[in-house]
């Protein structure tokens, strides 16, 4: 199928057995495309505050934004400037800039000791935009809660325990990323696009709001514009979920394009939902049978993330 379906997360949590089965069926069918739309309960005023503060930050002069660059974090916190991230299939950097953040784990937590580059000190432009830390941390937590609840639907679809994803998400290196796509007419050349075709590295990605269109999904019938119903969150599957499901849930291939010569800018926030980096990702036993032979080996989640970050230029190749 090439249609992205909308499902009701709250019906799965509060509805009858029949409603729950319908939601699971809808999610699994829609994730055949790599994308699905879900209802949510994130407060709209929280999103309004976050997007307003982020727009204020991205409007700052470049020299001011660069004060919050943290190159050694490989894009895991702080500001990432224009023409830095490059899709793995492309030689031309994306025309976008980003602000990245996550949750702190205690300084002496074994995850932070073992994977210091996965858990850097979080950097927020608090001096430039007072109050932004509190708002963005709250937004991050609400998005993690939403994704963890959504993954319980996926667990039902994959015939594994309800708590499977809760276990591997504990203290995961979840990353929230605000993205500003400047007018494409201002890009250095006509070859640049907002974000070239790629798949996400993680389990699932949530996109609660974008200020303009541009997101497109690759399907067997060509590129399909992704436009969720009002009040729904876009969720797409990533490389890690594809590996766990032995390819039954493909990673959604997508891109973000502006109209040719467009003078419109675009703001969005996405959150990448990750297992803790010490978990070994192997295809689930329920996803391997004679019809679906084992497709993937075992790899540590943190190692897989590093491999892809290197491919897209967020780990310096110099």
203 closest CA partner among 281, 256, 117, 102: 281
Tell the residue number behind the tokens 């935009």, with chain if given: 129
Q: Is residue 318 part of a domain?
A: no
| Cβ partners under 8 Å of residue 108, min gap 6 | none
| Cβ partners under 8 Å of residue 296, min gap 6 | 243, 246, 247, 281, 282, 283
Q: Is residue 317 part of a domain?
A: no
Q: Is residue 316 part of a domain?
A: no
Alpha-carbon distance of 263 to 84, in angstroms, equals: 21
Q: According to the model, what pLDDT value does residue 317 have?
A: 53
159 closest CA partner among 295, 284, 15, 48: 284
Of 6-20, 116-130, 147-161, 301-315, the range with the lowest mean pLDDT is 301-315
Alpha-carbon distance of 288 to 282, in angstroms, equals: 11
Q: Is residue 10 part of a domain?
A: yes
Give the count of domains, the chain.
1
Residue 316, pLDDT > 70, answer no
Q: Is the pTM of this model over 0.85?
A: yes
What range defines the domain where residue 288 resides? 6-311
Q: Is residue 182 part of a domain?
A: yes
Domain containing residue 56: CATH number: 2.60.120.330
Residue 53, pLDDT > 50, answer yes
Q: Is residue 44 part of a domain?
A: yes
Q: 254 — phi, psi (to 5°)?
A: -145, 170
pLDDT per residue as tens digits for the range 70-90: 988 877 899 999 998 888 788
Q: Is residue 210 part of a domain?
A: yes
Alpha-carbon distance of 12 to 24, in angstroms, equals: 8
Q: Is residue 238 part of a domain?
A: yes
């Amino acid at each position: 199928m090439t249609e992205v379906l909308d499902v009701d997360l709250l019906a799965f949590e509060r509805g009858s057995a029949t409603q729950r089965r319908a939601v699971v069926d809808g999610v699994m069918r829609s994730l055949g495309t790599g994308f699905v739309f879900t209802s949510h309960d994130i407060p709209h005023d929280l999103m309004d505050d976050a997007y307003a503060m982020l727009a204020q930050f991205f409007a700052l002069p470049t020299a001011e934004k660069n004060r919050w660059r943290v190159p050694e974090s490989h894009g895991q916190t702080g500001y990432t400037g224009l023409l830095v991230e490059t899709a793995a299939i492309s030689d031309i950097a994306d025309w976008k800039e980003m602000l990245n953040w996550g949750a702190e784990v205690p300084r002496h937590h074994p995850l932070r000791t073992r994977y210091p580059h996965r858990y850097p000190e979080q950097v927020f432009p608090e001096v430039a935009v007072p109050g932004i830390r509190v708002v963005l941390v709250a937004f991050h937590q609400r998005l993690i809660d939403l994704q963890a609840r959504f993954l319980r639907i996926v667990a039902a679809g994959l015939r594994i325990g309800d708590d499977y994803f809760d276990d591997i998400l504990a203290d995961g290196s979840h990353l929230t990323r605000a993205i500003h796509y400047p007018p494409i007419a201002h890009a250095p050349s006509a070859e640049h696009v907002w974000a070239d075709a790629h798949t996400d590295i993680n389990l699932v990605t949530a996109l609660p709001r974008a200020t303009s269109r541009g997101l497109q999904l690759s399907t067997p019938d060509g590129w399909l514009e992704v436009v969720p119903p009002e009040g729904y969150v876009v969720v797409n599957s990533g490389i890690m979920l594809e590996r766990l499901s032995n390819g039954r849930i493909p990673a959604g291939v997508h891109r973000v394009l502006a109209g040719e010569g467009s003078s419109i800018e675009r703001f969005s926030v996405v959150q990448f939902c990750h297992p803790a980096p010490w978990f070994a990702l192997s295809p689930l036993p329920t996803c391997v049978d004679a019809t679906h032979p084992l497709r993937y080996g075992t790899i540590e989640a943190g190692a897989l993330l590093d491999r892809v970050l290197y491919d897209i230029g967020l780990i310096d190749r110099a």
